[in-house]
Amino acid sequence: ETPILEVEDLARYFDVSRPWLQRVLAGEGKRTLRAVDGISFAIPRGTTLSLVGESGCGKSTVARLVVGLYPPSKGRVVFEGMDLERARAIAEQRRRMQMIFQDPYASLNPRWRVKDIVAEPIRAFGMTPSAAAQQEKVAELLTQVGLSPLDGEKFPHEFSGGQRQRISIARALSSNPDFLVCDEPTSALDVSVQAQILNLMKDLQARLGLTYLFISHNLAVVRQVSDRIGVMYLGRLVELAPAETLFTTPRHPYTRALMEAIPDLEMTGRQRIPVGGEVPSPISPPSGCPFHPRCPLANDRCKAERPGLVAARATEQSLTACHAVEEGRDGGLPAAQRIG
């Protein structure tokens, strides 16, 4: 079966030649920010791929490229076997792809009643023949996301953060999409509310056969919802693996460093990698492997040659962009650096 979404060698560059941007971003005369720099993945129907990484790694830019909010500088996005640009020109295809944003406060029009917010895509895509049918559909959607049909008469400010995110989800579902791009959908919420929204999203996926591209800076959050996880660093994918494989046997030193930040995760000393330092500016990324200034396993090859994303072992489904993994020298750290 063809994947619902395929991304091939996708890149998005931004022009940062204006003087004030140079000052803000410490660009040192460089003119281009490579926010996303040549990434490829596919998402099979009914599954969830999550992209994780620190802020500035390019994950939100990927989300925007995938729904067509930005055109790519290079590469392409293929939705249902069709080039995204062509797909976006057809309302029927556009309706099938929706986005949920991080901030339910900002993404809901405060002057509109909830029923009108939820019905907006239904009207935009001309989907219901009558006002009565529309009302019925809105009531059904509100029930599906755990709200009451009576909530349709209220305004967004009358709801909590978690309830507002439920309203955003109802709105995203109102055009009967197959594919949802969720950009940090729970990171503005309290931890207990986060879990409820993630459970709701999983239920809806099972019930409606949805496919998700899920964007988050939080590995612990994506663990609950993902079939596969891609780890991004400075605009590139450094590891792409089935979710459980990523947690039981993380391979890339950056993935192992991110795992360090999850308190309860059971890891062996062999897998631990402590990493210090800041993420370098994406305007002037380091030579070779962009992670080398922070990586305890870096050697001369790492400084000179950029590793490609390749299968870590012939039998594994994980892909890793790391010379140490490829050379089989990723097992341990020098004794002085080993912890745990």
Interaction between residue 259 and ligand SF4 (CB under 6 A): no
Residue 136 contacts residue 88 (beta carbons within 8 Å): no
- What tokens were used for 36? 């996303």
* Residue 293: count of CB within 10 angstroms of its CB: 15
In the complex, minimum distance from the CB of residue 150 to ligand SF4, in angstroms, rounded to a whole number: 54
C-alpha distance across the termini of the chain, in Å:
44
> What is the closest distance, in whole angstroms, from the C-beta atom of residue 318 to ligand SF4 in the complex?
14
Does residue 323 bind ligand SF4 (CB under 6 A)?
Answer: yes
> Does 324 sit near ligand SF4 (CB under 6 A)?
yes
CB closer to ligand SF4 out of 24 and 304:
304
Contacting residue, 292, 309, 312, 333, with ligand SF4 by CB under 6 A: 292
Residue 184 CA to residue 107 CA, distance in Å, equals 13
* The binder of ligand SF4 chosen from 182, 231, 258, 289 (CB under 6 A): 289
Q: Please tell me whether residue 297 binds ligand SF4 under the rule CB under 6 A.
A: yes
Q: Is 302 in the site for ligand SF4 (CB under 6 A)?
A: yes
Q: Which is nearer to ligand SF4, 183 or 239 (CB)?
A: 239
Residue 161 has, within 13 A of its CA and on its CB side, a CA count of 14
Q: What number of CA atoms fall less than 13 Å from residue 261's CA on the CB side? A: 13
The Cα diameter of the chain in Å comes to: 72
Tokens 């979710």: give the residue.
243
User: How far apart are CB 320 and ligand SF4 at their closest, in Å?
Assistant: 8
| Binder among 295, 309, 312, 333 for ligand SF4 (CB under 6 A) | 295
Among residues 171 and 251, whose Cβ is nearest to ligand SF4? Answer: 251
Token representation of residue 15: 């022009």
DSSP tag of 149: G
Query: From residue 217 to residue 256, what is the string marking binding to ligand SF4 with x (rule CB under 6 A)?
Result: ------------------------------------x---
Q: How far is the CB of 252 from ligand SF4 (least distance, A)?
A: 6
Cβ neighbours for 206, distance < 8 A, ≥ 6 positions apart: none
Residue 16 phi, psi (nearest 5) = -120, 35
The region of 13-21, 151-159, 267-275, 317-325 touching ligand SF4 under the rule CB under 6 A is 317-325
Does 5 help bind ligand SF4 (rule: CB under 6 A)? no
CB of 38 closer than 8 Å to CB of 10: yes
d(C-alpha 216, C-alpha 222), whole Å: 7
- Count of residues that interact with ligand SF4, criterion CB under 6 A: 12
Q: Nearer Cβ to ligand SF4, position 215 or 321?
A: 321
What is the spatial distance between Cα 221 and Cα 74, in angstroms, rounded to a whole number? 31
Q: Please identify, using beta-carbon distances, which residue of 86 and 313 lies nearer to ligand SF4.
A: 313
The dihedrals phi and psi of 183, each to the nearest 5 degrees, come to -95, 100
Residues 6+ apart with CB under 8 A from 192: none
Q: How many whole angstroms separate alpha carbon 131 and alpha carbon 128?
A: 8
138 binds ligand SF4 (CB under 6 A): no
Among 291, 312, 318, 333, binds ligand SF4 (CB under 6 A): 291
Report if residue 298 touches ligand SF4, rule: CB under 6 A: yes
Q: Which residues bind ligand SF4 (CB under 6 A)?
A: 253, 289, 291-292, 295, 297-298, 302, 307, 322-324
